[in-house]
Structure 1
Amino acid sequence: MNQFALLHEADSKYCFAIKNDEIIIRLRASKEDKIDVYLVYGPKYEFHNNRYKAKMKIQYEDSLYKYYEKKLKLKDLRLAYIFEIYENGKKYFFCEDGLVINYDFENAFYNFYQMPYINENDRVKVVDWMQGAVFYQIFVDRFNIGRSSKDKSYIDMKWGDKPTPKNFAGGDLRGIIEKLDYLKELGITAIYLTPIFLSISNHKYDISDYKKIDPMFGDKDDLKELVQKAHKKNIRIVLDAVFNHCSMNIAQFQDVIKNGTKSKYYNWFIIDGEYPEPEKGNYECFASCNYMPKFNTSNEEVQDFLLDIAVYWIKECDIDGWRLDVSDEVSHDFWRRFRKAVKGVKSDCVIIGENWHDAYTYLMGDQYDSIMNYAFTKACLDYFAKDRLDAKGMAAKLNQILMRNNSLINSMMLNLVDSHDTLRFFTELGCNKKKQLCALMLATVFPGALCVYYGTEICMEGGYDPDSRRCFNWNQDEWDTEFLKEFKKILKMKKDDVIRYGTITASEKNGLLVVVREYKCEKIVLEMNMTKKAVNGIEPFKYRVIRKGEYNEKKIGCNVAS
């Protein structure tokens, strides 16, 4: 047995409460080891003479490890436990001292694992509407022009032309309001908007006034109307919070440029010298963009300023969440305060971080609810577009991603295959519509919320930014109606309880990627073929979805696009 592969951590993603009286316990072991694992558990103060034993099941398997899991219903919320492992008929114990041959139960209080107590305010709270949500990300300037009476002097490109980094096409909030029926009919349940506040750019990630809607997009009344009308259609609205940095034109930074260390805002930023000097770049900024100075989010005055903004738009317009730009470069302390402030105003307001990497330290119930799941995006690129993963490798990768967090967080992850910051996935696939539908189906069946980038439903193409931010083509004569029909059918599946709440296993069988979701007496099985030959009746680049119930089995989905 490879004891170096054994891993368990109490009060972590390896031991977490899913309800006030229910927990999940996991143990990691080597994929190569042939072992049986049992959980030995009991009330913390009675463990020495009052114990139970339950076999653990392999729930996940990646390229290196197997993950054993057991769910327990507790009467006493103070739990003690160890692991009993059998290999070739020999018994071992695994506890805080590591792997041992004998275990001293009489003195177990020195080295058992424990859940000391399930405190209500320490549990991860699920935003229920995120489980099974279907997001539609809109780059506002390029979606639809709705307000014909506005000042259009800033528009410098014809709708549909390929954009440059600085082009303006004229899309606005009114344009989104006009298309709410279209989005509802697609199956969308939430809209994520790129920034809408005052800025000189088309992307609005350099904000100069956080309490003013940019006139290019409309005003506060337009946002209120958008939210109200969206809510009537059961569609949520999530805004983009750019709290890592701002525009150099913001009043506070301009005051520092003028007054240097004498400015009361000097410590709002991180400056090397008496004055910020843009030509020298002697201050922290986003990436290497000197026109976007970085906030000092460890400064409590800055925190108060940003928290006021976050709460303001919830109270004023009843928005349903914040997507947090460059969130991993902002202090943990700020995000803890942010969560309390936002949830204190609206408990089901979702908090989604833009973390491209493992964000476990942010996803423990005290900061974000979720992140944009770019690890899933990369896995899809490698499997569907780049041929770097086969079905076995993809199953292992999906399980590895799932093991980054506990299952409650996984149920709220924002799963996407592309965004305004990536190449269009359809372009990455060489415009292969079969593969596009397969990727969409996998993202739908995977735990969490699905996020589709505007135009995916009409097979919009696009290279790297700014080409990924083209104008939406509203000429329906140029749409592939068969693809759109299949697109809607796939999105509809996200409403199913077995996909919203079910457990997941991902594996490979005969070259197929097999993903199974189970909930109560229902099971949905997705079989996907990315090989170049037919397997078990599934043609190349197609999938089959089967629903298995207590009394029936029925094929409910099949990729038929040519």
Structure 2
Amino acid sequence: MVFYELFVRSFYDSNNDGIGDLKGITMKLDYLKELGVEGIWLLPIMQSAAFHGYTIIDFYNVNPSYGIIEDFKELIQEAHKRDIKVVLDVPINHTSVKCEWFQRAIEGDEKYKDYYVWANEKTDLTEKRHWDDSLIWFKYKDKYFYGLFGSSSPDLNFENKELWNEIKNVFKFWLNLGVDGFRLDAAKHIFDYDIENMKFKYQHDRNIEFWKEMISYIKNINPNALIISEIWDSPEVVKKYHGLFDVEFNFPFSYFIKDTIRYHDPRILVQGIEETLNHYITGKVESISGNFFTNHDMERLMTTFDENEDMAKIAFNILMTLPGYPFVFYGDEIGMRGKIIDVNYTEDSQEPMQWYESGFGPGQTEWKGCKFNPPYSFISVEEQEKNNNSLLNHVKKLISFRKDYKWIENSIISNLSNDRFTVSYILKTKDNEIKVYHNIKPQKTKVMKEKYKSYKIYGQGIIKDDYIELDGYSSVILEK
């Protein structure tokens, strides 16, 4: 299943206010269908004052900038008509300070006070989070609250079992509207503060206990609901959660893919597959690997590759020829650029989707100026649809291949090896087998022609009598 990560605000505007909306996505479902998308991961659509939507004011309502509940129902219905699933991002680790729960807590409501984590005599108010030295305790009126993700994001207190029931109601509400599953934001952060000792501490066992109960509840409502986790950490930590969620985002592998290409080093990709896709080598697959390059919190792919389109193409070749589910960040299919200053300022990686070469036209979102994707820079759907060799058409061809060879999702990796130029491996199931070569370097190389019934080249290459001459940043797929 090929997923598309979609930021509503930046995608398509149906009512000329410059902000993307749910009706706009419905209007562009045929674009996604033509691209080959089988699932949409919607970044948060719930009411929020933040541009990114990750600080929720009301878990039971749509952001008014994006439309109304009826618009969401229509989107679900129209997506399903096209055999496209819709997965909703639900950030339950924290709320907005504007959330009614938090406001009632501040006013002294006993029920809601216990929904949050407050400072006491043991608290070190100067404690900082471990990844960037930002403060984690913030004063609001006369109280200090714990907010690992910033001063507008008070963390919820999952020591309180009553809150567990509230979150179940949130999941039920959206499932009843027809959503096909959830992407669980910050899944390792449910229990990340030691209340007894008042100190930051990951408690992975307790996180797992919480998610087991939530997943069981969700699956009782919809047994086919797809649960996708975000655990941004080392392979060792990710493995603690293996088998709990249907799909696990493979953050470590995203860096292995990009570093392989940036440094032209095939050994890095071999190491990455061995370390992060090992369950597809042993055949002991409990959770599907969600493979991707980048997302809303990361620098865009083309920026990482200094705007080298051939490097982006070989990255997509790799993504679409490995088991698991590929995820494409909106706009990466046309090579959109975007840098991240830090984790608190991510707007520049979420610029408006570029539909038109001029930068303007019906449906074009304009909530943000395009610093990295200016008009007349060949970064548009309009321009790239005309060019058979564009990145967009390259990605379409790869997704079409992926859908024709759907068995790859559950295949076993074998014969993984590399030389100075290429990485090669075999993907197989009981009834299918292909061999894949990726030329990681910009120079040409030769691949021995073996006795296969078909040869598919993504990039440039020439098939000769005894060998295949493969251009730089190109791949060949040999089918038994």
Matches within 5 A, 1:457-468: 457-464=333-340, 465-468=346-349
Per-residue CA shift, 1:131-180, capped at 9, x if unaligned?
A: xx1111111100110134xxx4xxxxxxxxxxxxxxxx401111100000
Question: Structure 1: how far apart are the matches of 2:161 and 2:297?
Answer: 31
Cα distance in 2 for residues equivalent to 1:281 and 1:374: 36
d(CA) in 2 for partners of 1:360 and 1:398?
Answer: 14
Following superposition, the deviation at residue 557 of structure 1 comes to: 2.9
Matches within 5 A, 1:138-153: 138-148=6-16, 152=17
2:458 corresponds to: 558
In 2, distance between residues paired with 1:306 and 1:300? 10
Correspondence for 1:221 among 63, 70, 73: 70
In structure 1, C-alpha distance between the alignment counterparts of 2:141 and 2:284, rounded to whole Å: 47
Equivalent in 377, 397, 403 of residue 272 of structure 2:
397
Please list the CA deviations of residues 246-274 of structure 1 after superposition, one character each: whole Å capped at 9, or x if unmatched. Answer: 11111111112111xx6222221111149
1:372 has 2:219 as partner: no
Contact 2:248 2:287 in 1 (8 A): no
Deviation, structure 1 residue 489: 0.8
Q: Contact 2:422–2:438 (CA<8 Å) still a contact in 1?
A: yes
Q: 1:507 to 1:280 in 2, by over 3 A?
A: farther
Show the counterpart of 1:299: 160
What is aligned with 1:454? 330
Alpha-carbon distance in 2 for matches of 1:320, 1:455: 23
The answer to whether structure 1 residue 535 and structure 2 residue 457 are counterparts is: no
In 1, the alpha carbon distance for the partners of 2:271 and 2:3 equals 26
Structure 2 match to 1:135: 3
The answer for unaligned runs of 5 or more in structure 1 is 1-132, 153-168, 539-545
**Which of residues 514, 518, 535 is equivalent to 2:424?**
514
> How far 1:418 moved relative to its partner?
0.9
- The aligned residue for residue 203 of structure 2 is none
1:390-428 Cα shifts (integer Å, max 9, x gaps): 212320221111237874647622111011110101111
Q: Is the CA contact 1:522–1:547 (under 8 Å) kept in the aligned structure 2?
A: no
Equivalent positions of 1:143-222 (< 5 A) are 143-148=11-16, 152=17, 169-222=18-71
The CA distance in 2 between the partners of 1:547 and 1:180, in whole Å, is: 41
Q: Distance in 2 between matches of 1:407 and 1:193?
A: 31
Distance 1:471 1:140 in 2: 10
Amino acid of the residue matched to residue 458 of structure 2?
Answer: C
| Counterpart code for 1:487 | V
Partner SS for 1:210: strand
- DSSP 3-state at the match of 2:445: coil
Q: Aligned-pair distance for 1:332?
A: 2.4
- Give the whole-Å Cα distance in 2 for the aligned partners of 1:507 and 1:493: 23
Contact 1:376 1:401 in 2 (8 A): yes
- Residue number in structure 2 paired with 1:478: 383
In structure 2, distance between residues paired with 1:557 and 1:410: 32
Distance across 1 between alignment mates of 2:450 and 2:93: 45
Is contact 1:199-1:206 (8 Å) kept? yes
- d(CA) in 1 for partners of 2:68, 2:274: 44
Partner of 1:430: 306
Q: Which structure 2 segments of 5+ residues have no match?
A: 122-136, 191-206, 341-345, 357-380, 461-472, 475-480
Could you list the per-position Cα deviations for residues 25-75 of structure 1 after superposition, in whole angstroms to 9, with x for gaps in the alignment? xxxxxxxxxxxxxxxxxxxxxxxxxxxxxxxxxxxxxxxxxxxxxxxxxxx
- Give the CA RMSD over aligned residues: 2.4
Query: Tell me, what secondary structure is at the counterpart of 1:192?
Result: strand
Alignment partner, residue 324 of structure 1: 184
Q: Distance in 2 between matches of 1:223 and 1:411?
A: 29
CA distance in 1, matches of 2:287, 2:209: 25
Q: Which residue of 2 aligns with 1:43?
A: none
Report SS of the residue matched to 2:119.
coil
Q: Tell which structure's C-alpha radius of gyration is larger.
A: 1
Instruction: Supply the distance in 1 between the matched residues of 2:456 and 2:441 (Cα, whole angstroms).
Output: 22
- Name the amino acid aligned to 2:13: I
Corresponding residue SS for 2:87: strand
CA distance in 2, matches of 1:184, 1:449: 17
Deviation of 1:510 (Å)? 4.8
The AA in structure 2 aligned to 1:272 is A
Corresponding letter in the other structure for 2:240? T
Contact map agreement 1:257 1:277 (CA 8 A) in 2 = no
Q: How do 1:243-254 residues align onto structure 2 when only pairs under 5 Å count?
A: 243-254=92-103
Query: Residue 314 of structure 1 aligns with which residue?
Result: 175
1:441 aligns with 2:309: no
For 1:20-31, list aligned pairs within 5 A. none
| Inter-partner Cα distance in structure 1 for 2:318 and 2:268 | 15
**2:194 matched residue in structure 1:** none
